[in-house]
Structure 1
Amino acid sequence: MAVALSIFTVAWGGNEFTPLLVFYRQEGVFSNLFIDLLLVFYAIGVGVGLLAAGPLSDRLGRRTIMLPAPIIAAIGSALIAGGENTALLIAAGRVLSGIAVGMVMTAGGAWIKELASPRFEPGIKKGIGAKRASMSLTAGFALGPAVAGSMAQWLPLPGQMAYILHIILSLVLLPLLLTAPETRQTAHHGLKGSFWADVLVPSALNRRFLLVVAPIAPWVFGAGFTSYAVIPTLMHEMVSAPIAYSALLALVTLGSGFTIQQFGPQIMGNSKTRGPILAMIVAVVGMSGAFLISLHPHPWWALLVGVFLGLTYGLCMFMGLAETQNIATPSDMAGLSGIFYCLAYSGMVFPAILTKLNAWFSYPEMLGFGVFMAILCLGLVSITARKL
């Protein structure tokens, strides 16, 4: 629980920014492209955190890497709060928020996976570690924007209040991490090999990882950010409280993802194919819904589409993480998890790409291409999941 709460808090800070995209657009200080690029800055930070923290935590221990993460997240929130009208500050804050999220995804996810073992919890079932890690992240990703959007819509200091709350939450929960036992015991028996050898993560070349996990991963945040970053843009003029509506859409999306993740182990079972194929079927349905909404915008129907995109997020997150943990060796558990999450976060650039391409293509055309890509990935996973 101590590790899960830390992951939850950092994820809260990483995603509370999302509904405030609408607020920054209303303020008119930054261009729409820069506002969408803030998602890319965040994704860059996540990538740095993932690729560095995973091998480092495999090498030095989980607690060593996890302890600084909530502090870095709090500093990121402070910079964003102070940078409401300053591009450099807000961009730096987003990068730091991303780095912290990357750290907890890899080191924290591996820590939870190792704590969910017979050594610490006798009789525990397979897949519970992936379930707890994915649900901790999703709960933070869901409640962060829901609270932040509501505060920005109806409370004073809309550009600061949510970040102040996150800073307080981070510092209050930080001491709990000291109570969790270290699980990466080899970290205490001397360092073996070089850090750069750890970065290579040999299991990343596993064929099932390349041909089953990799095609699923981008749809985690590709679906999520289509729902709560792209669709609110299409609904902006159709709702009276656009910031709160964006927060509601994020809550519906990630709440659906959180709910389905509770049943992840049962859905996956002992089948090599059921989980990955179902995840991609739901991705096709969700992206098809987004395509239809772009043709005929309607706020209530958009919430229904958000449910399916949230189910896509939740299933792809759980199935991808469970597959990754099954493939990884004990020495590169966090490292391979970091690569999976990097692939997952590649879907975050989708809103910025759509904004940039909107000068040449319409949203229905671009989202229609997204449907085609989802069908292509479904076909690939349907073949490779059976064979590998």
Structure 2
Amino acid sequence: MWIKELSSPPHGTAAAPGVAARRSGLFLSAGFATGGLAASLLAEWAPYPMVTAYVPHLVLSAVARLAARHRVGTAVAGMAAVAVGLLVAAFAAAHADPVYGLVAAALIGAGYGLCVTYGLTEVALLAPPGALARLTSRFWVLAYLGFFAPYGFTLLNGPFDPAAIFLAAAGLAAVTGIGVTLAGSRAAE
């Protein structure tokens, strides 16, 4: 929907019918290509290529089903993935193990993706007609502020042990997930 709004006047210059649909198709194709690229890279360099190559597709299928059935479930799964990823990051920091660091990065990235999916879905549901692009841009501004987290972790690295910082962040992610669950169950009543 936001591609259509951004492609049409007054936000975009595409006056010809079908431009928004073609642009949406392009982004969808790019998404499909990214999945194939991830699977081929795993098949080439990861252990057990006949198994690991299918992991991204299985995960995305599970996420799609979750998102279709339970909007709040998407956010809760995202916060759970972030919390587990931060716990793995704490282990990686405590043991200086880069393999666990990569696993942590994948988990945190997956959680981020789920949380963004939830956030954009909620923005689309809350936006009044004609305000979707404006509210979506505000959402992205707030989401991009999260990219300052590594800088904050670096500032805290002097007085605190890195593993302790990751553990505290995991606790915050868990508390946020619980809060979203409670708010979602109240809204469902």
Query: Scaled by the length of structure 1, what TM-score is found?
Result: 0.35
Q: Which residue of 2 aligns with 1:366?
A: 165
> How far apart, CA to CA, are the structure 2 residues paired with 1:257 and 1:324?
26
Residue 62, structure 1, aligned to residue 35, structure 2: no
> How far apart, CA to CA, are the structure 2 residues paired with 1:260 and 1:332?
32
Q: Which residue of 2 aligns with 1:284?
A: 83
Structure-to-structure mapping, 1:41-52, within 5 angstroms: none
> How far apart, CA to CA, are the structure 1 residues paired with 2:7 and 2:72?
31
Q: Which residue of 1 aligns with 2:47?
A: none
Q: Which residue of 1 aligns with 2:128?
A: 329
Q: Deviations over 1:85-125 (max 9, x none)?
A: xxxxxxxxxxxxxxxxxxxxxxxxxxxxx946xxx9xxxxx
SS at match of 2:140: helix
Residue 316, structure 1, aligned to residue 115, structure 2: yes
Query: Are the equivalent residues in 2 in contact too, given 1:260–1:311 (CA < 8 A)?
Result: no
Residue 357, structure 1, aligned to residue 172, structure 2: no
> How far apart, CA to CA, are the structure 1 residues paired with 2:125 and 2:61?
18
Structure-to-structure mapping, 1:127-206, within 5 angstroms: 132=28, 135=31
> How far apart, CA to CA, are the structure 2 residues paired with 1:318 and 1:301?
26
> How far apart, CA to CA, are the structure 2 residues paired with 1:135 and 1:351?
27
> Could you tell me how far 1:259 is from its partner in structure 2?
7.9
Query: Are the equivalent residues in 1 in contact too, given 2:74–2:117 (CA < 8 A)?
Result: no
Query: Scaled by the length of structure 2, what TM-score is found?
Result: 0.67
> How far apart, CA to CA, are the structure 2 residues paired with 1:63 and 1:279?
36
Higher relative contact order (CA 8 A, sep 6+): 1
SS at match of 1:273: helix
Q: Deviations over 1:200-259 (max 9, x none)?
A: xxxxxxxxxxxxxxxxxxxxxxxxxxxxxxxxxxxxxxxxxxxxxxxxxxxxxxxx9898
> How far apart, CA to CA, are the structure 2 residues paired with 1:258 and 1:287?
23
> How far apart, CA to CA, are the structure 2 residues paired with 1:258 and 1:332?
34
> How far apart, CA to CA, are the structure 2 residues paired with 1:330 and 1:298?
50
Q: Which residue of 2 aligns with 1:339?
A: 138
Q: CA RMSD in A?
A: 3.7
> Could you tell me how far 1:264 is from its partner in structure 2?
4.2
Structure-to-structure mapping, 1:233-248, within 5 angstroms: none
Structure 2's unaligned 5+ residue stretches are 39-54
Q: Which residue of 2 aligns with 1:380?
A: 179
Q: Which residue of 2 aligns with 1:266?
A: 65
Q: Which residue of 1 aligns with 2:41?
A: none
> How far apart, CA to CA, are the structure 2 residues paired with 1:261 and 1:340?
23
Q: Deviations over 1:261-297 (max 9, x none)?
A: 5654422123243222211111211111111111112
SS at match of 1:62: coil
> Could you tell me how far 1:357 is from its partner in structure 2?
2.4
